[in-house]
Amino acid sequence: MPDKTPKVLPCPFCGSKGVAIAPEGRRLAFATCESDECAVVTKGYSTIEEASAAWNRRAVPKPEPLTQEQVLDMNGGWVWVAAYNDGWGYVRYYDGYVEVNHMRHLLDALGKTWLAYTTKPEGTDGR
């Protein structure tokens, strides 16, 4: 008979693979880390599937804009530019400008009129 227990990721706090998904008093299901040092527990859910889905959900960190130094280090690499012409572009630095998608951006204006990221931030337009 196949195992119907949902698969769960290791604990996001301590890395333990000892994670239990169990009903709590027949009303609610929860996920818990079985590590003695951690013992994190989710809130109660209606089903074991909901509890395991909540446990497996991970927050995606919001990308931070690159600094001037980081943009210069990306010379020859790809960045996401947030400006009036949002999009991915190949960085070429020369004469105080960064060229991305055939548009020249003044490096000193970084953070004022344009931003560069290594990953596309949510809510930006794409091509």
Quote the CA–CA distance of 84 and 82 in Å, as a whole number: 7
Please check whether residue 21 is in contact with residue 55, taking contact to mean a CB–CB distance below 8 angstroms. yes
pTM more than 0.85: no
Does residue 26 or residue 24 have the better pLDDT? 26
Q: Mean pLDDT, to the nearest integer, of 6-23?
A: 86
35 pLDDT higher than 90 = no
Tell me, what's the pLDDT at 125? 53
Quote the CA–CA distance of 34 and 118 in Å, as a whole number: 36
59 pLDDT higher than 70 = yes
Quote the CA–CA distance of 89 and 82 in Å, as a whole number: 11
Q: Mean pLDDT, to the nearest integer, of 13-18?
A: 87
Q: Which helix (H) or strand (E) holds 70?
A: helix 68-73
Q: Mean pLDDT, to the nearest integer, of 58-73?
A: 86
Tell me, what's the pLDDT at 1? 47
Q: Mean pLDDT, to the nearest integer, of 84-104?
A: 78
109 pLDDT higher than 80 = yes
Residue 22 pLDDT level (bands cut at 50, 70, 90): confident
